[in-house]
Structure 1
Amino acid sequence: MTNEQLRKSVLQRLGSIKGHIAGIENMVKGNKNCEDILFQLGAVTGAVNKLSAHILESYTEACIDEASIKDAKVRQRIDDLTKMMITMLRK
């Protein structure tokens, strides 16, 4: 993924998160029940975590490429570590 593609993707995801936050703000102003608000907050938390994972994955790929790591075992270990961190973020 190019830097420009990543930037556009991140901005799109941030726009979606911003929209969710505005919706939650309106729910609070409208005295909606706590259960609905908490459900929406959970959705925002998930979206932020997915965005973090998306950025981490792209950043790791760029670092590996920039460092010119050729050793397949090292690349695989870094890839495995990245996947583990992404899995943890997405929970």
Structure 2
Amino acid sequence: MTQHPSHRDQLRRLNRARGQIDGVVKMINEGRYCVDILTQLRAARSALRAVEDGVLRTHVQHCIQDELAKGNTERPNERIDELIDVLTRYGR
């Protein structure tokens, strides 16, 4: 069984994004100004993108590079294909 890398270092960013989303909910409930809400939404999206970038970097460094280091040439291609699939499926 393959050991997956830890993404615990991303929890701080995820907690920040969670706080920003909670802030958006509060702002909407308070009837705050649209531009203020949009600003907070953009900040939350930026925090989530930073998490995504970190997970992506770890995936390439750990999951793909490790397979190449083991001399496995087929498995890295499968992992790259699944990565491209998820990135194109949900946009970037």
TM-score with structure 1 length normalisation?
Answer: 0.65
Superposition misfits of 4+ residues, deviation over 6 angstroms: none
Overall identity of the aligned pairs, in %: 26
Q: Which runs of 5+ in 1 are unaligned?
A: 71-84
Question: Which residue of structure 2 aligns with residue 15 of structure 1?
Answer: 15
Q: String of CA shifts for 1:17-61, please: whole Å, max 9, x gaps.
A: 111100110000000000000001111111111111111011100
- Do 2:17 and 2:45's aligned partners in 1 also have CA atoms closer than 8 Å? no
Counterpart in the other structure of 1:32: 32
1:66 Cα deviation from its structure 2 partner: 2.9
Structure of higher RCO (CA pairs closer than 8 Å, 6+ residues apart) = 1
In structure 2, give the amino acid aligned to 1:46: S
For these two proteins, the number of residue pairs brought into alignment is: 69
